Amino acid sequence: MEQTLLLPQYNLILIRYAEIWLKSQKVKIRMLKYLMSNITRILNRKGIKFNKYQMSKDSSRIFFFFNNKDLPSAIDVLKNAFGVHSFSPAIRTSNNLKNITERTIELAKDILDRKDTFALRVKRSGIHDFNSLEVATIVGKAIIDNFPNYELKVNLTQPKKEIFIEIRGDFAYVFSQIIKSKWGGLPIEPQKKIVVMDIGRLNDLIAGFLLMRRGSEIYPILIDLSEEGTVIEDWISNWKEIGDYIPKNNIHLTKFRIHDVLKKIYSELEEKQYFCGICRLIRFDLISKILENPKFQFYEKIKACTDGTSLNNSNYCPDSVDLETLAINTLHLSHPIYTPIIGFGESKIQDFSKKISKNLKKVSYCPFKPENQVFDVEKLKELYDSLNINNILLFTVENGLDINIF
């Protein structure tokens, strides 16, 4: 990975976006407002100071202004910001060609070495007395003339160093690097609320993360299958890593423990080959009751739910049970259920989790680990109806535990 070069004269970061640009003007402006708001909220939460931010007149760039010493921390935030395609620490000057030349020479002095080949990459937006080629010609000649002992040469196809100049309206921006963000995607918007059903699998967490990458505001519901306290620390630790991407000041999880009811069902169930299917229906049933409970007001506008089903035989439950139970979730839950990692193999999921954070930990989420599970929709409905656990689940909902992670 290329090392970020931070020059002492840099005092802003120029931010680019890609997918947002394809939207209609109305949608684009809405998303850009959320993008700027999300960035400011994460910067504020992390205590990273910025002087101001603004959008270019043509809406193609966002500029955040910092003191030079705060740039490294700001760059770490922007690398993880959903909706950001790439960005560049930069110098700002006027659109006067003399000023552009002077500031570019100032930057060239810090990045060019003897016998380097270099190229100027010039972009321009707005009305000016010059075109991009003229800027590149004049500024390139000035660089060579100002460093006569460097033996510099221009190479437009494979230069060793590149210097970028973007002239936008009344201002010009000079920089030497384009830093790609890790995720791209779309900025998180509060009207896209989604519940993340998490039983402790990394699959569940990644499913929620991918919906967040598509602009969803997520609400994690932890459904605890384990003995009390056996996995909660690692579980919370994993969500703290995810919380680093969330533009909120207060992030909390809501945990519901269903171990006791599952333990009772498992001990009394004669046909244990249906246990995984029953467990999954209990979780969907529980989610539906949570979303109907006025106690959880922040859930009232939830649009959908995620599920970490992945057809890679990596879970305790067979893939067939996971998949087929999804087909009858409407018995309890009327919301759409998204399964964004359903086609991911185990290695893909591992790679994704490492990209999110190298600190994510596997959690032993299921103490039952039933074997030889099968699925029969009519039998499963019959067994579930005979359980008579509605009141137990309502009690579970009322006794949910809020856990603040920030």
Segments making up each domain of the chain, as ranges: 12-180, 193-404
Total-model pTM: 0.91
In terms of CATH, what superfamily is 193-404? HUPs (3.40.50.620)
Percent helix, strand, coil in the chain (nearest 5)? 40, 20, 40
Helix segments in 168-243, DSSP class H: 202-213, 232-243
CA 334 to chain centre: 27
pLDDT digits (tens, 9 = 90+) for 172-198: 999 999 999 999 999 999 999 999 999
Task: State the Cα–Cα distance between residues 132 and 185, nearest whole angstrom.
Answer: 30
pLDDT digits (tens, 9 = 90+) for 35-65: 999 999 999 999 999 999 999 988 899 999 9
Q: Mean pLDDT across the chain, nearest whole number?
A: 92
**Is residue 231 very low, low, confident or very high in pLDDT (cuts 50, 70, 90)?**
low
pLDDT in the model for residue 1:
46
Fold of 12-180: VC0802-like (3.30.2130)
Query: Is pLDDT larger for residue 147 or for residue 295?
Result: 147
Strands 252-257, 217-224: pairing kind: parallel
pLDDT digits (tens, 9 = 90+) for 4-33: 778 889 999 999 999 998 899 999 999 999
3-state secondary structure of 112: coil
pLDDT digits (tens, 9 = 90+) for 244-276: 899 988 888 899 999 999 999 999 999 999 999
Say which residue the tokens 């955040």 belong to: 64
pLDDT in the model for residue 106:
95
User: In angstroms, what is the C-alpha Rg of the chain?
Assistant: 27
pLDDT digits (tens, 9 = 90+) for 94-106: 999 999 999 999 9
**Is residue 230 very low, low, confident or very high in pLDDT (cuts 50, 70, 90)?**
low
Give the H or E element holding residue 278.
helix 275-292
